[in-house]
Amino acid sequence: MAAAALGGLGLLRARLRLAAAAATTSAALGRTGHCAPPLWRGATAAALPSAGRSYGSQAKEEEELRVRYLDDEHKGIVVLGLNRSHAKNALSKNLVKMMSKAVDALKSDKKVRTVIFRSEVPGIFCAGADLKERAKMHSSEVSSFVSRARATINELANLPVPTIAAIDGTALGGGLELALACDIRVAASSAKMGLVETKLAIIPGAGGTQRLPRTIGVSLAKELIFSARIVDGTRSNESCKTSYQSGNGGRLSNRFSN
């Protein structure tokens, strides 16, 4: 039993290193509360399998959400890549629909062992809801969209396998709520994170008011939500929102987990 537990911990650490590499090597690949102790240091591009060899053929260049099933020694890991470069990966009706479909498929796939959420767009994880699209919606459509986005993020949180958000850039509003729904978050020191909805006289609608306090504590969560303050990777590390900051060129990384 002890040997099995240690083996499982080693496997999870390997997958965390993979997520770390996903964040730190995004540009190089041309895709163009409680504090936890660090589980790895100095992750490099070598930890991430080459796209041509290990990513499955399921990925389609034109899709707003790229789904990749890794092969070889990383078999069982699925990478979901946000790919709306023209809209800073903002959550549109179509993207939420694709995310819902992908998460639903993963939920019943017994071969999946870990899911990594990342961005395919340099410098951006997810800018939140697509406000340009929302401005064209009828009020009834807005309510339906928010409900579906919340349900999709809840489904992600309830996946029966470990989920990791690799945050290489800005994660605001719904983008941070998406990351908070993951079990573990790996972020570049240059990342910008915040629940900024109160600047628009609204509140976070996809679980942020619940998950952020669980992660960093009620008092600090209230301050960040009330003020709509944005924190970078370094500050989040200092405030216990992330567990450590990498010295790897400032690209990677902090990790904060539930």
Q: Which residue intervals of 25-157 are DSSP H helices?
A: 51-54, 93-107, 131-135, 139-157
Residues annotated as part of the active site: 129, 174, 177, 197
> How far are the Cα atoms of 83, 166, 170 from residue 17, in angstroms, in the given order?
22, 11, 21
- Buried b vs exposed e over 13-32: b needs ≥16 C-beta within 10 Å? eebbbbbbbbbbbbeeeebe
Q: Strands, E, within 203-243: which ranges? A: 231-232
Q: Could you tell me the two tokens for 48?
A: 């991430």
Task: Please name the residues in contact with 34: beta carbons below 8 A apart, sequence gap of 6 or more.
Answer: 240
**Other CB atoms closer than 10 Å to residue 181's CB: what's the count?**
24
Q: Could you tell me the two tokens for 203?
A: 């509140």
- In 3D, which of 161, 188, 165 has the Cα closest to residue 178? 165
